[in-house]
Chain A
Amino acid sequence: MASLKIDHERCTECRMCYIVCREINLNAVYVALEPLHRIEIDVAKCTYPGCTACLMYCPADGSIVEAETGRSLVPPPPEVWRS
């Protein structure tokens, strides 16, 4: 199953993904206290590709990637959001 992860070289820690994920009560995006209080994605809670909400509101090009392939999902590729 595909999963998401944060590319910390690109992420600006704006926390839009955290707010969106919390708004839909998934709470898969969280602040990891170790090592640097950075945003991370809990793969046990994240339902990607079933849910793609965080991808639609992330403003940092390339900061959320598919963990298995390293493929950038920001901005969201058309197949992720076009039905």
Chain B
Amino acid sequence: MHPILEEFCEKWVWPTMPGALGAEFRLRLTREHCLKGWEISLNRTLAEIDEELANDDEEWKKHRALRGYAAEGVHMSIKQMSGQLLSVDIADQERYIDLQRMRARQIWDECKHSKLHADVLLGKGWIKSEPELMHLAQANAQPLPAYFGMSMMFPHIHPLARAAQNYYQEANACIGIMAYLDRVADPLVRHEHLSQRDEELMHFMEGKFQIDFLCTSPETQRPVEEALGYLLHQIGGISPSPQPSPRARGKGVRGGAEGG
């Protein structure tokens, strides 16, 4: 295991509340599926960083900031993440009110993260003001099937399916941030990542909490397994195509994902 991933796991993944009924399930998912995906993602990020640092110019910082603005900016948050609030039926709201609260908080966090990417573009003089980004397709589009409509719901609409996204995908964000902070000295790039660090970790912790506390039966664990299977297949490319449960298929919900 890469030392960065090992540090992340020792600090944030393995510590487990004694008696948490879903913890054994989470740790099994982690060992059998997540670690492989996290290792691949980390190695990809480190290879990208090494390639970027080998360049003489700073163009990569511009492209990365624009890509980050598109991946976790206001547009993404409003178009995709706010739709996730709708996945909790009114009858289930009392049970899952904390999930909705956390989701609302994450939408706000993602909007703030877009400002960090804009800071790089402003600080380097590549744009004069943030509204200029509204006219750049590169700052507003993602190469993902999740860009439009309700496709952010993964192959499942159960409220707990999102726990897989928070646990697996936000860990990738955390590990990526650790990699950048480990390798890159530019103060603006460090600002871009450092200011996100605790919030991405909080999003990961949301997923960890939801699985440990709420995924305590086959019925509540299945949506997490299905959504994780989707993420590993669609994003990681390391899992066979998932087979959504009949309930998800019946609702006609398509898959999708967004950045952390």
Residues of A within 8 A of B (CB): 12, 14, 16, 19-20, 22-23, 52-53, 55-61, 75-76, 80-81, 83
Contacts and interface: CB of A to CB of B under 8 A. Distances in A.
A81 B18 contact: yes
Residue among B11, B17, B201 facing the most chain A CB atoms (10 A cut-off): B17
A19 B199 contact: no
Nearest to B12: A75
B201 A59 contact: yes
B202 A16 contact: yes
A22 B209 CA distance: 12
B198 A16 contact: no
Interface in B151-182: none
A15 B206 CA distance: 10
A14 B204 contact: no
A75 B105 CA distance: 22
Interface residues of B, number: 24
Contacts of A52: 17-18
A60 B18 contact: no
B18 A57 contact: no
A12 B15 CA distance: 20
Given A81-B14, A81-B15, 19 more contacts: A14-B105, A19-B98, A20-B209, A53-B17, A53-B20, A55-B15, A56-B15, A56-B16, A56-B20, A57-B17, A57-B209, A59-B12, A59-B198, A60-B201, A60-B202, A61-B198, A75-B10, A76-B15, A83-B18
A22 B205 CA distance: 16
Given A53-B17, A55-B15, A81-B18, A23 B213 contact: yes
B75 interface: no
A23 B20 CA distance: 11
A60 B198 contact: yes
B218 to A, nearest CB: 21
Contact of B205 (A59, A61, A83): A59
A14 B15 CA distance: 19
A12 B18 contact: no
